Amino acid sequence: MKNQSIREKLVLIVEDDFDLLWMIQKLLTLSGFQCLTAVTAAQGVEAFSRHFEEIGAVVLDLSLPDQSGELLAKEFLELSPQLPIIVTTGFEDREQRRTLEEMGIFAYLIKPFDLTQLVDTLKSTYSSTAP
């Protein structure tokens, strides 16, 4: 990854709950991140394809209307194995969590989560992936 500050990093948020998407985007923007948003897996793939070189992290809901977030995470990681992906879910599933961690997911957050926890987790992705 290019050596960029947090303010120069782009975060792709894929979340089908419009209210939560808006809150996450607002908080991340106020915290100095640039954001791309998508409400479906298809939109997420399109945004990822267009901004592949710029995206520094992904916040990904596991329950999307058109495809599972787990499959989408796998697609992203196949294209960019070092990409930090933070998955969010309303239902804790230990088996799924273990599978995701084995795939290389950076973090697993259970809704409702503290939005400041998300910001701190994103900041830690950049410090852990810095050259």
Per-residue confidence (pLDDT) for residue 129, from 0 to 100: 56
Decide if pLDDT at 2 tops 50.
no
**β-strand partners of 85:** 58
- CATH class of domain segment(s) 8-63+79-98: alpha beta
For 127, the enclosing helix (H) or strand (E) is helix 115-129
What are the pLDDT digits (tens) for 23-34?
999 999 999 999
Give the confidence band of 125 by pLDDT, cuts at 50, 70, 90. confident
Decide if pLDDT at 63 tops 60.
yes
Average pLDDT of every residue of the chain: 91
Q: Is residue 117 helix, strand or coil?
A: helix
CA nearest to 74, candidates 102, 54, 38: 102
Decide if pLDDT at 119 tops 60.
yes
Q: Report pTM.
A: 0.91
Q: How much is the average pLDDT of 96-123?
A: 95
Decide if pLDDT at 6 tops 90.
no
Query: DSSP per residue over 51-76, as a string?
Result: TTTTEEEEEEESB-SSSBHHHHHHHH
Per-residue confidence (pLDDT) for residue 130, from 0 to 100: 53
Q: Which amino acid is at 2?
A: K
Q: For residue 53, count CB atoms less than 10 angstroms from its CB and return exposed for 0-12, middle for 13-18, buried for 19 or more.
A: exposed
Q: How much is the average pLDDT of 42-51?
A: 97
What are the pLDDT digits (tens) for 73-95?
999 999 999 999 999 999 989 99
